[in-house]
Structure 1
Amino acid sequence: MQPNVPVNDKFYQCNLQIIRKPFSDGWRCFQTTLEIEHTLEPEPEYKPTSTLAAQLDAFYRFTRPHTIIGTFIGIISVSLLPVQTMADLSPTFFMGILKTLLPAILMNIYVVGLNQLYDIQIDKVNKPDLPLARGDFSEKVGTAIVATVSTLSFGMGLAFKSPPLLFALLICFLLGSAYSVDLPFLRWKKHPLLAAACILCVRALALQLAFFIHIQNYVLGKPILFTKPLIFGTTFMCFFVAVIALFKDIPDVDGDRHYGIQSFSVQLGQEKVFWLCINMLLMAYGSAVVIGASLPYPLSKMVTVVGHCMLASILWLRARCVDVRNKGDVTSFYMFIWNLFYAEYFLIPFVR
């Protein structure tokens, strides 16, 4: 092992080597000199731009678009479950979906935005590209956005006069706040069971049940009846949302451990949680195949069985190629799970 020497001495030794050795060695030494000079130069500080395009891009990242896509597709899928005949697909039905989508997406932005406001320091480690952590938005701007979208969401919920819709918005608001806000008895994201329960109640229960009742009873005017696809979808999504709640912390162990967030990935290790999530999804897909095989309608049976077999196969093949120690690999796979989440919503309406 060579002793540490000052930078100037390294330059001096390098020049001697150029004289004594062939040109190829001298070239390698010249590269070393350039690397030393580069490390001595301070990295330029990031300066956010104030152009309209840059601000729109920052707002886009602030909304966490993959969660909005999940909300959008989920509501469309759930809204189709009460439909029994073509006559149900009326202008009133589509207007009812629109009245559901607008306040739900605004409340989605509130939840993810509030989480970013309280996680700025953690996100500088785990998600440095988010606008608050990166400095594209100030905390005041983030607070203004969160306050505005929550107010608009509740305003629409009250104006549309649908108790199930307003109930779903209220549950999302309360649990989303309890998850993120750093006050006594709150900040539930520090506790893995409470964190998973928050996400499960919002994504698997409130979205499925409340929005289904909203469309069935308050839009289509039918009596409240829990159908087979609703029961299947709610049960399946409980598994899926639990997986998302567990998996989202796998790439974030460094920041979570540093700031005292005791996620399952911090406590049990990334690899154990990774394969727990994979096995949970495979169990859910296997159950869906069994249920699909028992359906009375040939089209429903074929789509449900073949669709879930394909998704399970793709999941297994992709999971075997993931390096759990590589944050980029894990983050990419996490987004792949969201794609499976979207795909499931296309299959649920076929369970009849």
Structure 2
Amino acid sequence: MARDRLTSGKPQRLHHYGPHNPFSWRRWLRSLWAFSRPHTIVGTTLSLGALGVMAWVLTPDTARVLVNPLTLFGAMVAALVPSLCANVYIVGLNQLTDIAIDRINKPHLPLASGAFSVSMGRWIVAALGGAALVLAALQGPILWLTVALSMAIGTVYSVPPLRLKRFPFWAALCIFGVRGVIVNLGFFTHFRQVLSPESIPWQAIPPEVWALTVFVVVFSIAIAIFKDIPDLEGDRRFQVRTLTVRLGARYVFRLSLGVLTLCYGLMLGLTLLGLLPSVQPVFLVVTHGGLLGLLGWMSRRVNLQEKSQITHFYQFIWRLFFLEYVLFPLACMVGP
């Protein structure tokens, strides 16, 4: 059965420890860094920082002057720790259920290469998952709910019997549900309550936060569509019916590019229509228009027969995703 083939077999222990290869903390930490999928760590850190800054900037002046900036910084650091633990739980769980596929698509990952044993991977995932829930609970129900929902969705995305990553629609829904909706609204509401304890959760979320949420949701759809293009060979061999397996790499590439273009078009339209009163419109239009042009130029340089070029463009998409969490808060800080 396909599911059995996904998880059966033992990885080759390329870096097993023994008399001729003693344990090295440096090597172990490098493997842990790879296991954590650094691009997702960067995304979580930037999104949390951006939403903390936006909560500060978009708080009414009368309330903002009463808050010590160190209070916000401390809240951001405290929230980052369980968020990163949850992040590693999600990506680690995905690797535990994809060892056989990753030996083809991502042989450098610690479980696929044998740098980590399966039992070590399970211990890391269990320990950090538990730490994420406990540390988030200590900081209030909003952060705990944000972390718990993200972990729950990450679990059903990877783990049988649901294993929603097998289905293009549900896989995309998981990714943009966490990255777009839960992270943005959850973090912003948590930080807003830290700054204004009397505020009512989920009420009076400013249009700028909704705009960033829409942008990230649409962008995450593009990432969810594109991410399986480099993995075509392994997914096809193990009968994982992704959109790329069903429709082909060229069609999915163009679809993803269209979604990204729509994403930047929506942000430009909202800005030009004056629907984001707290941002600097010229800054937002120039930066997003320039990035849209760069996206089109980069896309024409991709040869879909070369996996390295596809992977490079996928990394470029992630950099655009990260950059939004820098540009948008800057636009709010500069102001109209």
How would you bin the TM-score normalised by the shorter chain? 0.7 to 0.9
Matched residue, 1:249? 228
**Gapped regions of structure 1 (runs ≥ 5):** 1-43
Q: 2 CA distance for matches of 1:114 and 1:92?
A: 34
Q: Is the 8 A contact 1:63 1:113 kept in 2?
A: yes
Kindly report structure 1 stretches of 4+ aligned residues shifted beyond 6 Å: 296-299
Q: Quick one: which of 99, 103, 108 aligns to 1:124?
A: 103
- Contact residue 114 and residue 177 of structure 1 kept, 8 A: yes
- How many residues of Structure 1 are paired with residues of Structure 2 in the alignment? 306
Rounded Cα–Cα distance in structure 2 between residues aligned with 1:75 and 1:126 = 30
Alignment counterpart, residue 196 of structure 1, candidates 153, 161, 172? 172
Q: Give the distance between the partners of 1:298 and 1:147, measured in 2 at CA.
A: 42
Is 1:112 the counterpart of 2:91? The answer is: yes
The correspondence for 1:275, drawn from 254, 267, 273, is 254
1:206 aligns with 2:182: yes
Match of 2:50 in 1: 77
Distance 1:52 1:157 in 2: 28
Q: Retained in 1: the 8 A contact 2:48–2:187?
A: yes
1:333 aligns with 2:320: no
Unaligned runs of 5+ in 2: 1-11
RMSD: 1.9
Aligned to 1:151: 130
Partner residue of 2:157 out of 179, 199, 207: 179
Q: Which amino acid aligns with 2:135?
A: M
Larger mean Cα displacement after TM superposition, 287-296 or 243-252:
287-296
Counterpart for residue 317 of structure 1: 297
1: distance between equivalents of 2:111 and 2:55?
41
- Distance in 2, matches of 1:90 and 1:300, equals 23
- Structure 1 vs Structure 2: percent identity of aligned residues? 33
Q: Contact 2:34 / 2:109 at 8 angstroms: preserved in 1?
A: yes
Q: TM-score if structure 1 supplies the norm length?
A: 0.83
Say whether the 8 Å CA contact 1:188–1:194 is kept in structure 2: yes
Question: 2:8 maps to which residue?
Answer: none
Matching residue within 282, 306, 311 for 1:302 = 282
Higher relative contact order (CA 8 A, sep 6+): 2
Indicate conservation of the 8 Å contact 1:107/1:153, yes or no.
yes
2:197 maps to 1:221: yes
SS in 2 for 1:182: coil
C-alpha contact 1:93 1:220 (8 A) present in aligned 2: no
How many Å apart are 1:282 and its aligned residue? 1.1
Q: Any conservation in 2 of the 1:114–1:146 contact (CA below 8 Å)?
A: yes
Question: Residues 298, 199 of structure 1: CA spacing in aligned structure 2 closer, same or farther, 3 A cutoff?
Answer: closer
**1:168 aligned to 139, 146, 149, which one?**
146
Distance 1:336 1:135 in 2: 28
Deviations 1:128-178 (A, max 9, x none): 000000000000100010011011111101111x11111111111111110
* Residue 299 of structure 1, CA deviation: 7.0
